[in-house]
Structures are given as structure tokens and as C-alpha cells.
Amino acid sequence: MNEKRDCYEILGVAKSAGADEVKSAYRKAALKWHPDRNPQSKQEAEGKFREATEAYSILSDPQKRAAYDRYGYAGLSRGGFDGSVNQTIFDEFQDIVESDCSNELQAILREFAQFTEHITIKAYSESTQYAENAVGAAS
């Protein structure tokens, strides 16, 4: 299996590296591995260049970097939590639920998903109401 290398390892920086250090390391890697600078090993250079570019795109974005630091590449995949109010954990497993579970289990999972969505919406409403009351009291 072709497993991805660690982003920090690819760029040769420590996990504590700041934005400027990450940017500098990327520029060095990009110059070193640019396919035009490596005509003898163009295929290898293209792979290393893409790898460095991907690592930089992750480590230069604070949200992506936090997700990567916590969960690795899995935290960056489409299945990661995006914070939206309407998404439930079961949305990502819908195809499994529909094909591999009994009707009874499907019903339980749908009910639980609706319940968690209701709680999320209720919590959002309450926090909005609290904020409106706080603003009203301050005026």
C-alpha cells in the first residue's frame, strides 16, 4: 500500500515550525524538486514536487494544519467534521446503513440522527437567544 509521508517530514520542519519557516522550507523543496530542474528523473521529481506542494497547502492553512495535527490525513478527508449544523455523523455512513443493516437498526439510527440534529438546533437557538438578551440588556 502506498502510504503518505508525514507533512513535516516532507518539508523537513518541526511540528512547532511557524508560518515563515514552513514557507521557506516549501520554497526550497519546490526549487529542488521542480520537474524542469530534474530532466533526468522527471517522474520522481514530479512526485516529490506534488508531495511538497500538498504538504505546504496543509501546513500553511491554520484550519487544515490543526486537523492534520490532530487526526493526520484522515482529518483532511471529505468525511471530516465541517461544523455545519445539518450534518450528522450518520450522513457519511448512509450507504452502509442502507445496504448492510436491518430495517429496525436503520430506523433506530435515523431516529438518533434526528434527535442529535434537534439538540444541535436547540443549542444554537438557545445561544442565539442568550446573545440577543445580552445585547438587549447592554443597550
Taken in order of first residue, the domains within the chain and their CATH numbers are 7-76 (1.10.287.110), 89-138 (no CATH)
* In the chain, % of residues over pLDDT 90: 37
Is the model's pTM score more than 0.85?
no
Q: Kindly state the cell numbers that stand for 71.
A: 487526526
Q: Supply the DSSP string of the chain, one letter for each residue.
A: --PPPPHHHHHT--TT--HHHHHHHHHHHHHHH-GGG-GGGHHHHHHHHHHHHHHHHHHTSHHHHHHHHHHGGGGGSTTS----TT--GGGGGHHHHHHHS-HHHHHHHHHHHHHHHHHHHHHHHHHHHHHHHHHHHH-
pLDDT band at 19 (very low <50, low <70, confident <90, very high): very high
